[in-house]
């Protein structure tokens, strides 16, 4: 039987964080032996909000190298830049013509991001690309006809929309797109900000202290953890009223591959300082290991990415043609 396929991507909007590692990359790495894997840097998605071209170019290369540094093996996983496979742009259009402004404007991420723009600059300044972000993402998934989409909790709604779109296309045009399943990890699906644990850790947060970046100096990362906001109670246990402690326990359990309950038990009789020290050390070790490998591969990104795109394009083109034929844009026999 053919191997099942996973697909995932990371937007090139900023420096990768520990949350991207725990919520997505770590799981993608674990899947690559068992699944046929397609992973890409979503540089087209990065254009949905204004971004400096030089910065974008730097981000995408860093993310490519970091994927490898975190354990992606390019002999097992097809790793590429989204914009190197032109089929993504075309697929986006075909999908956009089969969705409504209603369903796109109801997406949580669109509401959050557009709300911020609207408040400061008014409705007229909301980029069209922001509204179409989910159609581009649905196109990414259907181009590779993926079974499983490993992502953090914040992307679940986008995968659910993709499932609806795949069903819609299959019903309306008799295509046979797979209905993709999100894979959301049990621990670490939503890593929180270190300065405000009620908000998610994000690579686009302007406060550098709120996130651990995978390219942070490991010593600085350690200190960020020591300064992470917790609460004044002093006892370690899992509770939604203690989001800072829950976040540190989540990070610890994800990095040690243990359950949240096991982590809670381990720290039960320890104090906040001990918890922070142990979490900080695990992160310091992880970053040291990642950065060593990163420095070995950063100069090889262009060559690797070219090969990845060539391979990705074969599958992307096949699925694009399938939809183009179904829509009447191409003849069946061509
Ligand atoms: P992006 O770049 O925002 O995030 C990359 C991955 O990291 C996860 N993540 C988190 N996980 C846990 N805690 C957090 N605080 C946290 N923040 C981010 C995200 O859920 C994601 O898995 N739209 C996608 C990129 C994309 C994509 C795709 C993904 C484009 N096309 C097709 C899958 C399939 C995004 O912006 O992820």
DSSP string spanning 288-320?
Answer: HHHHHHHHHHGGGHHHHHHHHHHHHHHHHHHHH
Please compute, for residue 26, the number of CA atoms within 13 A of its CA located in the half-sphere on the CB side: 22
Residue 203 annotated as catalytic: yes
Long-range pairs, 53-59, Cβ under 8 A, ≥24: 56/12, 59/12, 59/13, 59/14, 59/15
Residue 268 annotated as catalytic: no
Q: Return the DSSP state at 24.
A: I
CATH number, domain with residue 253: 1.10.240.10
Q: Are residues 172 and 229 in the same domain?
A: no
Q: Are residues 137 and 9 in the same domain?
A: yes
Q: Are residues 21 and 58 in the same domain?
A: yes
pLDDT (tens digit per residue) in 225-265: 999 999 999 999 999 999 999 999 999 999 999 999 999 99
The C-alpha angle with vertex 9 and arms to 6 and 15, in degrees rounded to 5, equals: 145
Cβ–Cβ under 8 Å, residues 37 and 76: yes
Domain annotation covers residue 110 = yes
Long-range pairs, 254-259, Cβ under 8 A, ≥24: 254/22, 254/26, 254/185, 254/187, 254/188, 255/22, 255/279, 255/282, 255/283, 255/286, 256/282, 259/186, 259/187
Cα 144 to ligand 1 centre (Å) = 18
Cα 23 to ligand 1 centre (Å) = 8
Domain annotation covers residue 206 = no
> How far is residue 198 CA from its own chain's centroid?
20
* pLDDT average, residue stretch 59-73: 98
Domain annotation covers residue 278 = yes
Q: Are residues 243 and 222 in the same domain?
A: yes
* pLDDT average, residue stretch 299-309: 98
Domain annotation covers residue 314 = yes
Nearest CA to ligand 1 atom 4: 10
pLDDT (tens digit per residue) in 5-46: 999 999 999 999 999 999 999 999 999 999 999 999 999 999
Q: Are residues 281 and 305 in the same domain?
A: no
Residue of 203, 242, 284, 322 marked active site: 203
Domain coverage including residue 123 = 5-188+300-327
Percent of the chain at pLDDT exceeding 90: 94
Q: Are residues 323 and 229 in the same domain?
A: no
pLDDT at 87: 98
| Mean pLDDT, all residues of the chain | 96
* pLDDT average, residue stretch 184-191: 96
Cβ–Cβ under 8 Å, residues 245 and 213: no
Residue 293 annotated as catalytic: no
* pTM of the predicted structure, to 2 decimals: 0.96
Domain annotation covers residue 183 = yes
Q: Are residues 289 and 304 in the same domain?
A: no
Domain annotation covers residue 317 = yes
**Residue 334 — very low, low, confident or very high, per pLDDT cuts 50/70/90?**
low
CB-count exposure of residue 247 (10 Å: 0-12, 13-18, 19+):
buried
Q: Are residues 252 and 323 in the same domain?
A: no
Among 116, 154, 25, smallest CA distance to 79 is for 25
**Residue 99 — very low, low, confident or very high, per pLDDT cuts 50/70/90?**
very high
Q: Looking at ligand 1, which atom is closest to the CA of residue 154?
A: 20
Domain annotation covers residue 207 = no
Cα 334 to ligand 1 centre (Å) = 37
Q: Are residues 180 and 275 in the same domain?
A: no
Cβ–Cβ under 8 Å, residues 225 and 276: yes
Is 190 touching ligand 1 by the criterion CB < 6 Å?
Answer: yes
CATH number, domain with residue 84: 3.40.50.620
Binding-site annotation: residue ranges for ATP: 11-13, 152-154, 191, 200-204
Q: Which residue is it, tokens 């007229």?
A: 124
pLDDT at 294: 98
Is 23 touching ligand 1 by the criterion CB < 6 Å?
Answer: yes
Cβ–Cβ under 8 Å, residues 242 and 251: no
Q: Are residues 253 and 311 in the same domain?
A: no
Helices 301-327, 156-173: axis angle to 10 degrees equals: 40
Among 140, 138, 132, 24, smallest CA distance to 80 is for 140
Cα 235 to ligand 1 centre (Å) = 33
Domain annotation covers residue 39 = yes
Q: What is the dihedral of CA 278, 280, 281, 285, to 10 degrees?
A: 140
pLDDT (tens digit per residue) in 50-65: 999 999 999 999 999 9
Residue of 15, 60, 61, 200 marked active site: 200
How far apart are alpha carbons 97 and 172 in whole angstroms? 13
Q: Are residues 12 and 107 in the same domain?
A: yes
Task: Tell me how many domains the chain contains.
Answer: 2
Q: Are residues 320 and 242 in the same domain?
A: no
């Amino acid at each position: 039987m053919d191997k099942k396929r996973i697909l995932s991507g990371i937007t090139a909007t900023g420096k990768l964080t520990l949350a991207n590692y725990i919520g997505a990359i770590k799981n993608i790495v674990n899947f690559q032996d068992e699944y046929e894997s397609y992973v890409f840097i979503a540089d087209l998605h990065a254009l949905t909000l204004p971004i400096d071209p030089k910065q974008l170019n730097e981000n995408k290369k860093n993310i490519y190298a970091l994927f490898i540094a975190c354990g992606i093996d390019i002999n097992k996983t097809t790793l590429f830049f989204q914009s190197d496979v032109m089929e993504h742009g075309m697929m986006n259009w075909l999908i956009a013509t089969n969705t409504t402004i209603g369903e796109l404007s109801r997406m949580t991420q669109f509401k959050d991001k557009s709300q911020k723009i609207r408040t400061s600059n008014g409705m007229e300044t909301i980029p069209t690309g922001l509204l179409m972000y989910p159609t581009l993402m649905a196109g990414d998934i259907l181009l590779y006809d993926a079974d499983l989409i490993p992502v953090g909790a914040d992307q679940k709604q986008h995968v659910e929309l993709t499932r609806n779109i795949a069903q819609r296309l299959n019903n309306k045009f008799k295509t046979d797109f797979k209905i993709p399943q999100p894979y959301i990890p049990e621990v670490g699906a939503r890593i929180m900000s270190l300065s405000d644990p009620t908000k998610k850790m994000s690579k686009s947060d302007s406060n550098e202290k709120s996130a651990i970046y995978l390219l942070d100096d490991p010593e600085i990362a350690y200190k960020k953890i020591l300064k992470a906001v917790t609460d004044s109670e002093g006892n370690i246990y899992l509770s939604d009223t203690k989001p800072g402690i829950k976040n540190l326990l989540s990070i610890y359990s994800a990095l040690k591959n243990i359950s949240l309950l096991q982590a809670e038990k381990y720290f039960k009789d320890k104090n906040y300082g001990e918890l922070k020290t142990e979490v900080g050390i695990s992160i310091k070790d992880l970053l040291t290991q990642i950065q060593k490998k990163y420095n070995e591969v950063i100069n090889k990104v262009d060559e690797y990415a070219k090969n990845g795109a060539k391979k990705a394009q074969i599958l992307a083109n096949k699925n694009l043609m399938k939809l183009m034929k179904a829509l009447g844009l191409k003849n069946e026999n061509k």
